[in-house]
């Protein structure tokens, strides 16, 4: 597509429920990133996918968080047994790896509210 697409744009859930957030990167972009943005905080790196390489999961805050990228394209971020501190905007970005500046293009994000 023309840009990075994320869904849902807003999600309200109850504490303890599982949620899935989806990211459709720009066609042809080999690298995909997930970040989390909490109020008043900088973007926090969560996970990175590049082609067929093993993902860098070093930013995932706990084992309740996981992510997959199927067919080198669409990615799903799953949060199990959600907690109130998981409330944030989850941003996905994609880039063409190895393209000089390697500029990340972001989606508009999925706003998660855990009650």
Partner 1 sequence: GQNIDQPTEMTATEGAIVQINCTYQTSGFNGLFWYQQHAGEAPTFLSYNVLDGLEEKGRFSSFLSRSKGYSYLLLKELQMKDSASYLCAVRGSNDYKLSFGAGTTVTVRA
Among 22, 56, 72, 80, binds partner 1 (CB under 8 A): 56
User: Which among 6, 23, 26, 33 has a CA at the least distance from the CA of 75?
Assistant: 23
Encoded one letter per residue, x for contact with partner 1 by CB under 8 A and - for no contact, window 73-112 reads ------------------x-----x---xxxxxxxxx---
Its sign, for the CA torsion 104, 107, 108, 109, is negative
Whole-number Å distance between alpha carbons of 97 and 91? 18
Residues at the site binding partner 1, with contacts judged by CB under 8 A: 3-4, 31, 33, 35, 40-45, 48, 50, 56, 59, 91, 97, 101-109
């Amino acid at each position: 597509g023309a840009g990075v697409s994320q869904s849902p744009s807003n999600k309200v859930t109850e504490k303890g429920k599982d949620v899935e957030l989806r990211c459709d990167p720009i066609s042809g972009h080999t690298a995909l990133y997930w970040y989390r943005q909490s109020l008043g905080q900088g973007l926090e790196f969560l996970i990175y996918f590049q082609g067929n390489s093993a993902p860098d999961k070093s930013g995932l805050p706990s084992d309740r968080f996981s992510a997959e990228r199927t067919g080198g394209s669409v990615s799903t971020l799953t949060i199990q047994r959600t907690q109130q501190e998981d409330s944030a905007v989850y941003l996905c970005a994609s880039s063409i790896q190895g393209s000089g500046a390697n500029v990340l293009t972001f989606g508009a994000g999925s706003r998660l509210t855990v009650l």
